[in-house]
Amino acid sequence: MTQSNPLLSEWNTPFSIPPFDQIENHHFAAAFDHAFDTERANIDAIANNGDAPSFDNTIGAMDQDGVMDRVLGVFHNLVGSVSNPELETLQRDLSPRYAAFHAETMMNKKLFARIDTLFQNRQTAGLNAEQLRVLELYHRMFVRAGANLTGDNRKRLAAIMQRLAELGTDFTQNLLADEREWFMKLSETDLDGCPSFLKSAAKQAAKERDTDGYVITLSRSLIVPFLQFSPRRDLRETAFNAWVKRGENGGKTDNIDIVTETLQLREERANLLGYGTFADFKLETEMAQTPANVRDLLMAVWEPAKAAANADAAKLTKLMHEDGINADLAPWDWRYYAEKLRKAEHDLDESELKPYFQLDQMIEASFDCATKLFGLTFKPLDVPLYHPDARAWEVLKDGRHMAVFIGDYFARSSKRSGAWCSRFRGQSVQDGVDIRPITVNVCNFAKAPEGEPALLTFDDARTLFHEFGHALHSMLSDVTYGFISGTSVARDFVELPSQLYEHWLSVPEVLEQFARHADTGNAMPRELLDRLLAAENFDQGFATVEYTASALVDLAFHTETPPSDPMVKQAAILAALDMPNAITMRHATPHFAHVFSGDGYSSAYYSYMWSEVMDADAFAAFMETGDAFDKKTAQKLHNHIYSVGGSKPADVLYTEFRGSLPKVDALLKGRGLDKTA
């Protein structure tokens, strides 16, 4: 079997990249069967080892990458990026099966007894600092997964975890189906008044859907420009309603019942483990620690953000009335009139800016910053990948192979929405060999017609830098144990390396070098660059309100009694906050994938803002030197943040880098909201 199945045979490829040109859908079922059998045998061997428990024969043995890591690494990335009905069927079968296997492992009494013995004797076991940290994290993981439960409680928790896995998969697939199936067909006349880059992207989207003319899809990089530039209020309303109603349609892809059951099961899970609410359980291991601390942060930002948004809404309403539309400002109006206001206040026009943000140039900019900060170089690789749009580079530092980086940048119907960083393989040291990561950035930028350069908005370019910051966190990892490598850190710390990296996009010398016009090749004129940077905080009231509202709804869902109707509860939360009428949540409940496709960001969507408090302060460390690429500060950033994974608690890592933890003032100042506070 192993010889005929490329997922199970040795990968004789450059840097052991998965042999994508050989892997077919049908290979996964047999590979997973083999992986489950192999992993169970490995766990049994560790649990039943006749020797006294030691770090190496217990924790070290568990930390070794196995066939399951290899197969899951490929599968999870493909099902998110190039999904198809066969993979989705397998995903529905696999999710509860894997959840059951994980629960079986976490509740293995003999295995936990070995781990607990090591933990109780950890201070006299002669462990180094990294081993002690890994042991403590493994022990905590087992306890929080129910290792100490007995009898029916053990069985019930296992059943809950299996059902939650099913619900998360259903939520994800429903959302993907809605995003894949909806599009709005338009004629050339329907796009009158829209810039040429939007028309080109809409034409390319139509081509990819085998239809004539132009289409608007639910891809953010297509629908947001349409909402910004289309003078057709009726079409903006149609598109916007489709966008915000993803997952809420009353049909087979409706996510409301899934959300209801998910919230109930999460509370029951937390109660079984001795916590009052799911948020109490989830936040215990994060920097924030308690729901009260999270709410304090969010509310410190909410009022000044709402004040700024309401002030802007008055300006936008005035512009709309000047257009002869005597109605209340609606959510599908905001971006259109905000674009007009930006033009009036900052003399900025997206159609003027966008030719300067070519995708290839922005990729080069992100690489160049990594070269200046961390000494990395990037060498293109000609290897088979999982889709023709994906591309790969070898990442080196002083001649040392550091990683393989894969970039997959364009939207397509087989890819879930959003942008993310993942990995086919993480970093670790195994049997004395430094295993280097294979990291992938996935985005959903609008694809240009063949022969034309792909153009980004400034926000798109910021997304590219954000995800590459995550990739650097993975690729620079230099620890021994995979359990703490790369992005394996507290959820409200993991966004620091990514959000911090965004700052370098706005460094004038970076834009002067890489923001070059797609037609002329000329650098962005300095006066245009100055106007762009001066407007960076434009519309921050809107951006902060839509984000913070989502984070507050997430927190309320997981700190209060699970609602029988999540949409009624969502409306009540927003009403209590006095949510501006013309702004909606960035992620409404039925398509809140961060929170309901799994529990990664559940009770923790605030994490982006928690990390932003730190990233504003961290970049200030460079600004205080007068050099955005100061070598000494960059070395400290590498040593204490990007290379050390979760080898120490997050607050310790940040304090070692900066000297102390920052206050929320840094965030308010960074967003330009301190003037309204």
Q: Which of 286, 339, 394, 467 is catalytic?
A: 467
Residue 589 in this model has a pLDDT that exceeds 90: yes
Instruction: Look up the pTM and report it.
Output: 0.95
At residue 211's C-alpha, the angle toward residues 207 and 215, to 5°, is 75
Task: Pick the closest to residue 472 from 490, 487, 459 (CA basis).
Answer: 487
Tokens matching residue 192 = 């009158």
Residue 1 in this model has a pLDDT that exceeds 60: no
Q: Following DSSP, what letter does each residue of 585-608 receive, concatenated?
A: -SS-GGG-HHHHSSSSSTT-TTHH
Residue 350 in this model has a pLDDT that exceeds 90: no
Chain mean pLDDT for the chain: 96
Which runs of E-coded beta strand occur in 345-412?
376-381, 391-397, 400-410
pLDDT for residue 3: 62
pLDDT for residue 174: 95
As a whole number, mean pLDDT of residues 101-108 equals: 96
Question: Would residue 527 show up in a list of annotated catalytic residues for this protein?
Answer: no
pLDDT for residue 387: 98
With cut-offs at 50, 70 and 90, classify the pLDDT of residue 507: very high
pLDDT for residue 675: 67
pLDDT one-digit tens code per residue, 134-149: 999 999 999 999 999 9
Per cent of the chain over pLDDT 90 is 95
pLDDT one-digit tens code per residue, 260-273: 999 999 999 999 99
pLDDT for residue 549: 98
pLDDT one-digit tens code per residue, 127-186: 999 999 999 999 999 999 999 999 999 999 999 999 999 999 999 999 999 999 999 999
Residue 520 in this model has a pLDDT that exceeds 90: yes
Tokens matching residue 598 = 């799994």
Residue 677 in this model has a pLDDT that exceeds 50: no
SS3 (DSSP) at 675? coil
Sign of the CA dihedral with 86 first, then 87, 88, and 94 last? positive
With cut-offs at 50, 70 and 90, classify the pLDDT of residue 2: low
Residue 627 in this model has a pLDDT that exceeds 50: yes
pLDDT for residue 540: 95
User: Which of residues 548 and 413 earns the better pLDDT score?
Assistant: 548
User: Which of residues 279 and 250 earns the better pLDDT score?
Assistant: 279
At residue 62's C-alpha, the angle toward residues 59 and 66, to 5°, is 155
pLDDT one-digit tens code per residue, 26-56: 999 999 999 999 999 999 999 999 999 999 9
Alpha-carbon span 195 to 183, nearest angstrom: 20
Which runs of E-coded beta strand occur in 173-328?
184-186, 214-216
With cut-offs at 50, 70 and 90, classify the pLDDT of residue 671: confident
With cut-offs at 50, 70 and 90, classify the pLDDT of residue 447: very high
Per cent of the chain over pLDDT 70 is 99
With cut-offs at 50, 70 and 90, classify the pLDDT of residue 665: confident
As a whole number, mean pLDDT of residues 102-112 equals: 97
